Amino acid sequence: MGWKEMEYTLLGKTNFRVSKLGLGGAPLGGDFGDTTDEQALRVIDAALDLGINFIDTAPLYGGGESERRVGLALKGKRSRVILATKAVVRGVPYTYENTLRSVEESLKRLQTDYLDLIQLHELESVSYEAAMEGTIKAFLKLKKEGIVRAIGVNAGQLDRLLPFVREGIVDTIQTFGRYTLMDYTAKDELLPLASRAHVGVIHGSPLCTGLLTESPAPFLYKYPEKIAEGERRKRQLEFLRQGRPNGLVEPALRFSLTCPDIAVTLTGTTSVEELTQNAAYCDGRGLPVEHESKVLSLFPGQPL
């Protein structure tokens, strides 16, 4: 598979031309298992070879290790990617000063003097007012200075994103696990609203933090009721499984990748083989119409 097969689109009003499949940075920092610099660099190099030009990371991932490794991998190749990171780190107040410091430290780790996209990480941790007065105010200053080209916000809870879209404050939004085979609640209000406002949508965790695979993310085991509900929903999706282990991965990725209101679907991996396979699904082919209709009839308005 070469870069010619990769699909591209525009990321909302940023007008960045982005690959519809992006590389997520959490596994590159070792958040889902031990990872070496060599593994991370191999995956990032493979992503570029496959035509993936959107990389999304954060200082939270691996305590800065993900950003450091992305910086290493992009030496001499920075112009080939749309590079996105976030601010601030969980547990640090979202003040103006902390935000500027967070971005400054990210730039050093990433070995670059500008960011294509900076995003407020985990809106759940801060009120709308505090976000506006602190982190967003800092982002707007950095955008004016040309240090960042676009600004966005990130949240798992969809209602936290809505006011930022309605007020026209941000260029992008990022959510995760909310347009999947098991939970497609983003389509009810958020995606149409973002589309009308020309706000670019980035979607993480199309595999529902591993619930749509044979091995859910380790942190989920703290929430046995969520795993049980995931298993219940997975049984109802058996008609999509292609008679092999991890048979829901392809339909799950195709479901997100072909949603017209999602610009970038993130895949997070430290395996070149897995990345190459996921990139092969970015060919514009979605689920058969009757399968998509059935999926959308199973869990309407039911967040996981």
221 is catalytic: no
Annotated catalytic residue, options 61, 94, 179, 184: 61
The set of residues, in sequence order, having a beta carbon less than 8 Å from that of 132 and lying 6+ positions away, is 169
DSSP 19: E
Burial of 213 (0-12, 13-18, 19+ CB in 10 A): middle
Q: Are 257 and 282 in contact (CB under 8 A)?
A: yes
Q: Are 158 and 186 in contact (CB under 8 A)?
A: yes
CA 251 to chain centre: 18
DSSP 133: I
Q: Are 26 and 206 in contact (CB under 8 A)?
A: no
Please list the active-site residues: 61
